[in-house]
Amino acid sequence: MLQMLSCPRCQGAGGGEGLVKMADSEDCVTQWIVCNLCDGLGQISRRRHAAVSIGKHLRDHRVKTLAVSLADLSTRLPTFTPQAVSAVEHGTTPFTSWGDVLELCIAYECDHHELLEAIHAAGDADDA
């Protein structure tokens, strides 16, 4: 049984109202937009939740401390494409391995004490 947590992106709502431009007119209409993190479920697994937290931490560190763009980073880290780094930073699917997260963390020279705790807390028997 997976332990599910409230989705941090939509706060458990499964999505939110958003303005959508219609293809056949200049008008915008208000539409329900399904959350792309939880796919409208309003909940995500504990592991995914940890992945999102870790990714946010890594992104903040890259932007604020390293002050380097995804494109610049990919020239420094040949094993990661910008897409792969972006996926880790957003905790999105296909979620890469915890090894990738740790490798990125080390490459960022990021204090990863809290990341290791989050990984430990998330366990390893969860969704992929």
Taking the complex as a whole, the smallest distance from the CB of residue 110 to Zn ion amounts, in Å, to 26
Taking the complex as a whole, the smallest distance from the CB of residue 42 to Zn ion amounts, in Å, to 6
Question: 42: buried, middle or exposed (CB in 10 Å: 19+, 13-18, 0-12)?
Answer: middle
Taking the complex as a whole, the smallest distance from the CB of residue 89 to Zn ion amounts, in Å, to 17
Taking the complex as a whole, the smallest distance from the CB of residue 37 to Zn ion amounts, in Å, to 5
Residue 88: name the closest of 67, 66, 76, 70 by CA: 70
Residues 38-57 that bind Zn ion (CB under 5 A): 38
With binding defined as CB under 5 A, does residue 35 bind Zn ion?
Answer: yes
Look at residue 33 and give its three-state secondary structure: strand
Is residue 87 within 8 Å of 96, Cβ to Cβ?
Answer: yes
Q: Which of 17, 20, 24, 37 binds Zn ion (CB under 5 A)?
A: 37
Whose Cβ is closer to Zn ion: residue 10's or residue 119's?
10
Q: Which of 3, 4, 6, 10 binds Zn ion (CB under 5 A)?
A: 10
As a whole number of angstroms, the distance between CA 29 and CA 65 comes to 40
Q: For the chain, how long is the longest CA-to-CA vector?
A: 52
Which stretches of the chain bind Zn ion, using CB under 5 A? Answer: 7, 9-10, 35, 37-38
